[in-house]
């Protein structure tokens, strides 16, 4: 077995392997690491394993993650929920993982749904929904209350636009980012830079969807879905809270779910949620089930960890109090400068 650093010439072979691997997610694609380099100058440390015939038998996507005054450590992967090694066998996976050390961060996912009776309030899980063959079949399996909420958005006159490749993405990126940055300010969370989203969409091209929901000509909801093989994942979804009475989130999620279902995806990853809290309940109403996350944070917990999990009176409370009151331009400029150093 030979383990070596991947280069840009390996991108197609890497993505072909990831596309057929049962445990792969859209975040395992080569384009995620390229975006980390292109937008944030965080260097790829993508490892691949080859057998004696030169056939690819495993991959480990990781980033040499740099933070001021703290040096570098490997993160597999930053800016997403999962990004662990993929391999043909446990021996290959073990060999790849030997390149991580105690200071490395990695995000693994248990491959079977977890019994909710074993979960503690606030525990982080990933929520996934199996998809049927058609969007009509998907709609029919929803409870009547959920279908009425989808219709409510339509009755309120909301419309949506969907982009399915980079040429189309560019036409919706400004509207997406406008909704995203306002929502993140309200959540007291630093924003990704606009360049980050531009590079993600350029690298994923037709393996990405951008959806924007409008009331008249005003964008009030927006999301991005990434695709790998038969899985679709939604890492970013935002709505403007002052318009939530119109149900833009229902039209946003339904439009994306219908699109990827009819495009042949068979699993929809709703992303990370805290067990029992509001976003968990929103996602489970669509039928999503929880999978346990296993994270190892080898480095000192970063700002976003403190914001998400810190007790009252710490960074979390301070951020929630001050950040939403700052001018939007300041939260964008400060947030995008900070965000490149927050690995979550």
Q: Are 47 and 83 in contact (CB under 8 A)?
A: no
| Contact residues for 271 (Cβ-Cβ < 8 A; gap 6+) | 81, 126, 127, 233, 234, 235, 283
Reference 36, options 68, 72, 4, 66; nearest CA is 66
Q: Are 235 and 200 in contact (CB under 8 A)?
A: no
Reference 79, options 117, 39, 139; nearest CA is 39
What average pLDDT does this structure show over 270-279? 92
CB < 8 Å & 24+ apart, contacts of 164-169:
164/206, 164/209, 164/259, 165/205, 165/206, 166/201, 166/202, 166/205, 166/206, 166/208, 168/210, 169/201, 169/208, 169/210
Cα angle: 71, vertex 62, 40; to 5 degrees: 60
**What are the DSSP E strand ranges found in 146-239?**
158-163, 208-215, 218-228, 231-239
CA R_g for the chain = 20
2-109 falls under which CATH superfamily?
Answer: Gcn5-related N-acetyltransferase (GNAT) (3.40.630.30)
- Cα dist. 208→75, 111, 211, 301 in Å? 23, 24, 10, 31
Can 2-109 and 116-293 be said to share one CATH topology?
Answer: yes
Residue 315: its pLDDT value, please?
A: 58
Residue 302: its pLDDT value, please?
A: 44
Instruction: Please state which of the ranges 31-45, 214-228, 261-275, 321-335 shows the lowest mean pLDDT.
Output: 321-335
Distance of CA 18 to the CA centre of its chain: 17
Q: Are 149 and 253 in contact (CB under 8 A)?
A: no
What average pLDDT does this structure show over 192-200? 98
**What tens digit of pLDDT does each residue of 210-236 get?**
999 999 999 999 999 999 999 999 999
**What tens digit of pLDDT does each residue of 86-132 get?**
999 999 999 999 988 877 887 777 777 888 888 888 888 999 999 99
**What tens digit of pLDDT does each residue of 306-318 get?**
434 444 445 556 6
Centre a 10 Å sphere on the Cβ of residue 112 and count the other Cβ atoms it contains: 7
Residue 69: its pLDDT value, please?
A: 75
Reference 11, options 31, 37, 41, 36; nearest CA is 31
Return the DSSP state at 276. T
Is the confidence at residue 298, as pLDDT, over 70?
no
The domains of the chain are located at 2-109, 116-293
Mean pLDDT is highest, among 240-249, 269-278, 320-329, for 240-249
Distance of CA 35 to the CA centre of its chain: 13
Centre a 10 Å sphere on the Cβ of residue 17 and count the other Cβ atoms it contains: 21
Cα angle: 83, vertex 40, 339; to 5 degrees: 80
180 φ/ψ angles, rounded to the nearest 5 degrees? -60, -50
116-293 falls under which CATH superfamily?
Answer: Gcn5-related N-acetyltransferase (GNAT) (3.40.630.30)
CA–CA separation, 115 and 88 (whole Å): 28
- Structure pTM? 0.92
Q: What percent of the chain has pLDDT over 90?
A: 77
Q: Are 77 and 62 in contact (CB under 8 A)?
A: yes
CA–CA separation, 344 and 299 (whole Å): 12
């Amino acid at each position: 077995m030979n383990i070596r650093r991947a280069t840009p010439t390996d991108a197609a072979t890497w993505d072909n392997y990831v596309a057929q691997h049962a445990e792969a997610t859209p975040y395992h694609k080569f384009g995620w690491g390229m975006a980390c380099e292109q937008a944030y100058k965080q260097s790829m440390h993508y490892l691949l394993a080859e057998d004696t015939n030169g056939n690819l038998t495993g991959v480990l996507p990781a980033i040499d993650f740099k933070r001021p005054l703290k040096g570098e450590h490997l993160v597999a992967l930053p800016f997403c929920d999962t990004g662990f090694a993929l391999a043909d066998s446990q021996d290959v996976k073990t060999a790849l993982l030997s390149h991580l050390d105690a200071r490395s961060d990695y995000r693994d996912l248990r491959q079977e749904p977890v019994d909710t009776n074993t979960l503690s309030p606030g525990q982080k899980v990933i929520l996934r929904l199996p998809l049927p063959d058609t969007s009509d079949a998907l709609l029919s399996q929803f409870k009547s209350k959920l279908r009425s909420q989808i219709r409510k958005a339509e009755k309120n006159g909301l419309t949506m636009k969907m982009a399915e490749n980079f040429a189309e993405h560019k036409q919706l990126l400004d509207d997406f980012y406008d909704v995203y940055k306002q929502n993140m300010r309200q959540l007291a969370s630093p924003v990704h830079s606009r360049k980050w989203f531009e590079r993600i969409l350029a690298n994923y091209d037709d393996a990405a969807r951008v959806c924007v929901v409008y009331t008249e000509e005003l964008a009030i909801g927006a999301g991005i879905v990434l695709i790998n093989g038969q899985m679709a994942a939604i890492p970013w979804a935002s709505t403007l809270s002052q318009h939530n009475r119109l149900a833009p989130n229902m039209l946003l999620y339904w439009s994306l779910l219908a699109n990827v279902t009819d495009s042949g995806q068979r699993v929809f990853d709703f992303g990370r949620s805290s067990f029992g809290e509001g976003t968990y309940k929103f996602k489970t109403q669509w039928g999503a089930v929880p999978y346990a996350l296993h994270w190892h944070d080898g480095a000192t917990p970063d700002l976003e960890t403190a914001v998400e999990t810190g007790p009252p009176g710490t960074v979390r409370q301070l951020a929630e109090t001050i950040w939403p009151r700052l001018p939007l331009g300041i939260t964008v400029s400060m947030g995008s400068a900070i965000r490149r150093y927050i690995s979550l």
